[in-house]
Structure 1
Amino acid sequence: MTTIYLVRHGQASFGAESYDKLSPNGELQAQVLGRYFKEILKEAPYVVAGSMQRHQQTAHMALAESFPESTVLTNAAWNEFNHQQVFAQYEPRFNQPHLLKQDVDKELNPRAYLSKIFEGAIGRWTGGEFHHEYDESWPEFKGRVETALQNLCDELAKIKPRYAVVFTSGGVISVAAGKMLQLSPDKTFALNWAIANASFTTLRLVGNEPQLLSLNEHHFIKAYDSQLLTWI
């Protein structure tokens, strides 16, 4: 029976000109994840990663610590939604990522402020009235992720590896979990906000159908250094 690990990438570069790059914290998170995989996985996994830089970096850094011989299959269907566009359509000035970071940094409770912005931006994106204003609408993103998951399950049911690891993003993982739990968009993205960097969510493959085993496992990072835990 195959166990699937859906991994959120390590911390990216929030507020930088290019978000799609691991921060120094993110690089260390990926290495800690890889060392943990070396302990818990008994053989080399089947590996897939989104095509985003942060997915690829996390995959290669983690595997360098655990299964350096593994081949990483790249599949853009596991890429995150365009969060910068989602923020900018909600508040046009956030089209410049550093302005959002400036606003967040000025707040006494930065995470609470960003959570409020995130909730408003996601609500607009998923609400239905403005689908035409996005390069990828919410229904298109949801459909892409659900298809990617089913295609992966169909492939794994044929080749039957013991483990599969997918390096992706929080929004993707939330949609996958939301599909299995039959969650509304609001509750799906409440999950997204809680998923820690370099955490993993596990699925068990029964036939070619996924079953949710665990969500947002990050205890191994906390055990290494609680200050290394990040969610943004």
Structure 2
Amino acid sequence: MTTIYLIRHGQASFGAESYDKLSPNGELQAKVLGQYFDRILKESPYVVAGSMQRHQQTANLALAECFPEAQVDTNNAWNEFNHQQVFAQYEPRFNQPHLLKEDVSKHENPRAYLSKIFEGAIERWTGGEFHHEYDESWPHFKNRVETALEKLCNQLAETKPRYAVVFSSGGVISVAVGKILGLSPEKTFALNWAIANTSMTTLRLVGNEPQLLSLNEHHFIKAVDPNLLTWI
């Protein structure tokens, strides 16, 4: 029976011109993840990662700590939605990422403020009225992720590895879990906001059907250093 680990990437560069790069903290998170894998995985896993830089960096840094010989299959079906465009369509000034970061940093409760913006932006994106304004609409993104999960499960049901590890993003993982649990878009993206950097969401494959075993495991990060734990 195959166990699938869905991994959110390490902390990226929020507010920078290019978000798609791990911060120094994110690099350390990825190494801690790899060290944890070295303790819990008994053999080299099948590995797939999205094509985004933060996915590839997280995969390579983690695997260097546990299974440096493992090959990474790259598949852009596991890429995140364009969150910067989703923010910008909700509030045009956020087309400049540093302005969003400035607004958040000035607020008395930065995480609560960003959560409010995120909820509004996601509600607009998933609501149905504005699908035509996005490069990738919510229905297309949802279908892409669900198809990627289905194809992976069918592949693993045939090849039967003991472990599979998928390096991806919070939105992707939330949609995968939402599909398994039959969640609404609102509840799906409530999960997205809670998924920590380099956390593990674990699935068990029964036949070719995934079952949720755990969501957002991140205590292995806190055990090393509570200050390493991030959600943004």
Fold conserved between structures, TM > 0.5: yes
Q: CA deviation at 1:83?
A: 0.1
Instruction: Flag as ranges the 4+ runs of structure 1 deviating above 3 A.
Output: none
Q: Deviations over 1:96-115 (max 9, x none)?
A: 00000000000010000000
Q: Name 1:181's counterpart in structure 2.
A: 181
Mapped partners of 2:137, 2:200: distance in 1: 26
Kindly indicate whether residue 192 of structure 2 is the aligned counterpart of residue 192 of structure 1. Answer: yes
Q: Name 1:231's counterpart in structure 2.
A: 231
State the SS of the aligned residue for 2:215.
Answer: strand
Q: Name 1:137's counterpart in structure 2.
A: 137
Kindly indicate whether residue 89 of structure 2 is the aligned counterpart of residue 84 of structure 1. Answer: no
Q: Name 2:151's counterpart in structure 1.
A: 151
State the SS of the aligned residue for 1:20.
Answer: coil
Unaligned runs of 5+ in 2: none
Mapped partners of 2:227, 2:20: distance in 1: 22
Kindly indicate whether residue 56 of structure 2 is the aligned counterpart of residue 72 of structure 1. Answer: no
Q: Name 1:46's counterpart in structure 2.
A: 46
Kindly indicate whether residue 167 of structure 2 is the aligned counterpart of residue 167 of structure 1. Answer: yes
Mapped partners of 1:161, 1:180: distance in 2: 21
Q: In the alignment, residue 104 of structure 1 is paired with which amino acid? A: V
Mapped partners of 2:84, 2:194: distance in 1: 19
State the SS of the aligned residue for 2:155.
Answer: helix
Q: CA deviation at 1:139?
A: 0.3
Unaligned runs of 5+ in 1: none
Mapped partners of 1:120, 1:107: distance in 2: 17
Q: In the alignment, residue 98 of structure 1 is paired with which amino acid? A: H
Mapped partners of 1:226, 1:103: distance in 2: 26
Q: In the alignment, residue 58 of structure 1 is paired with which amino acid? A: T
- RMSD between aligned alpha carbons? 0.3
Q: Deviations over 1:77-97 (max 9, x none)?
A: 000000000000000000000
Q: In the alignment, residue 155 of structure 1 is paired with which amino acid? A: Q
Q: In the alignment, residue 202 of structure 2 is paired with which amino acid? A: T
Q: CA deviation at 1:21?
A: 0.1
Mapped partners of 1:67, 1:197: distance in 2: 21
Same amino acid, percent of matched pairs? 84
Q: Name 1:214's counterpart in structure 2.
A: 214
Mapped partners of 1:209, 1:10: distance in 2: 28
Q: CA deviation at 1:200?
A: 0.7
Mapped partners of 1:105, 1:60: distance in 2: 31
State the SS of the aligned residue for 1:175.
Answer: helix
Q: Name 1:127's counterpart in structure 2.
A: 127
Q: In the alignment, residue 13 of structure 1 is paired with which amino acid? A: S
Q: In the alignment, residue 30 of structure 2 is paired with which amino acid? A: A
Mapped partners of 2:24, 2:108: distance in 1: 25
Q: CA deviation at 1:66?
A: 0.4
Mapped partners of 1:33, 1:218: distance in 2: 9
